[in-house]
Structure 1
Amino acid sequence: MDRSRPQSTELRRLLDERTTDLQRVKAEYDNYRKQVRRDRMAVREIAVENVLRSLLPVLDAVEAARRQEAMTPGVKAVAEVLETQLGSVGLQAFGEEGEPFDPEWHEAVTHVVAPDADGLTCTEILTPGYRVGDRLLRPARVTVTGPPPSGATRVDEGNAGERAAAERGDPAAG
């Protein structure tokens, strides 16, 4: 009987080791599966973004056609289906006149100075911006109206020409 006790203890120790090993391998496998799932989702999101980004010129052409002339019913239907389908995979257009300018989401093409303005406001949307969820595909290109840029000084129009001539070394700039 003395002999079975050490053997039983040894078997218990080996069983505990193998159980611990099995639990570790199972945890590693679970982590691997989760990582593969995250990687697949990331690859899918990147692929969708790339396809959507490649279709933005088509949406720009549709918008340009809308601005230039009334679209035929067939072209209008194609445009609506295209926009609906792109929206169903997460494409969202943004950029509205009157919204505050945000340099992360807007690209200011023109700045119109309005000394009485409190902040920068998008006053004209030249091309809409697009995003998928929180990921920016393209910023909205806008005209911004607001106060003069900080550090800007007003140049007296009458002296501007004389100042430019003096900088060129023109002797008539007297």
Structure 2
Amino acid sequence: MTDVNREREEEVDVEKPVVTDKRRIDPETGKVRQPDTTAGTTAEPGAAAAASAAGPGTAGGPATEGGPDPLEAARAESLDLADQLARRNADIYNLQQEYNAYVRRSKAEVANYKQAGVHDVVEALLGVLDELELARQHGDLTGPFAAIAEKLEGTLRQRFDVERYGQVGEEFDPEVHDALMHQEDSAATATTVSQVLQPGYRAGEKVLRAARVGVTGPQ
């Protein structure tokens, strides 16, 4: 071999083969070899940075300590909704009470207006009723006119509870009598009606017109 060829062989870098012993039993000691956990565990470039950037709560990441508990959040939301429902129910109850009170007031006002209308009509007819009573006392109310007068008075009495009052001998009551004359009597023990100048009328408990009377009382 010439010197030139020898120099060329020295310049060539021949890579020698690497032999890996993968036998699980060590031929020298006869013991089971432990697996090499470091082999093949080289992390790919950027893997650690990606895991760190994933943030808390992601798959494979550590659990975040001190974060909101989903169960407690659900309980708080449930309590808040229950409180809102209770407030709405209270509002509806108050509205119903106001409506019921309004209905009661409306019915009472309608009844009062109706009764007031009846009283106005009867008061307008008091002059006619006085004339009918005077004609009856003088015997002038006979025939068809008597029947009409009785029907009118009966209708007012039955449908609207209108009655005429004021009789001689009844005890004087300033709530329902209007005394136009007064006489003294030593034998009298109480003030009584001695003369009816104009009868009174009332509808139920309401006095439409007080009876105008003359009274006699003790000295």
Shorter-chain TM-score bucket reads 0.7 to 0.9
- Structure 2 residue 99 is the aligned partner of structure 1 residue 29: yes
Aligned residue among 131, 138, 143 for 1:73 = 143
Aligned residue among 111, 115, 118 for 1:45 = 115
CA distance in 1, matches of 2:112, 2:175: 22
CA distance in 2, matches of 1:70, 1:44: 35
CA distance in 2, matches of 1:147, 1:60: 31
Identity percentage of aligned residues: 36
Per-residue CA deviation, residues 123-168 of structure 1 (Å, 9 max, x unaligned), is 12121111111111111111211224xxxxxxxxxxxxxxxxxxxx
Match of 1:82 in 2: 152
SS in structure 2 at match of 1:144: strand
SS in structure 2 at match of 1:20: helix
- Structure 2 residue 185 is the aligned partner of structure 1 residue 111: no
Q: How many residues in Structure 1 have an aligned counterpart in Structure 2?
A: 148
Larger radius of gyration: 2
SS in structure 2 at match of 1:143: strand
Match of 1:11 in 2: 81
CA distance in 1, matches of 2:140, 2:197: 19
CA distance in 2, matches of 1:71, 1:53: 22
Match of 1:130 in 2: 201
Query: What amino acid does structure 1 have at the position aligned with 2:215?
Result: V
Larger proportion of helix: 1
Larger proportion of strand: 1
Q: Extract unaligned runs of 5+ from structure 1.
A: 149-174
CA distance in 2, matches of 1:75, 1:112: 38
Match of 1:155 in 2: none
Q: Extract unaligned runs of 5+ from structure 2.
A: 1-69
CA distance in 1, matches of 2:102, 2:216: 52
Instruction: Give the deviation of 1:57 after TM superposition.
Output: 0.5
Structure 1 range deviating more: 70-79 or 19-28 = 70-79
Per-residue CA deviation, residues 31-79 of structure 1 (Å, 9 max, x unaligned), is 1111111111111121111111111111001011112234222001001
Match of 1:59 in 2: 129
Aligned residue among 121, 131, 141 for 2:192 = 121
C-alpha RMSD of the superposition: 1.3
Instruction: Give the deviation of 1:119 after TM superposition.
Output: 1.5
- Structure 2 residue 218 is the aligned partner of structure 1 residue 147: yes
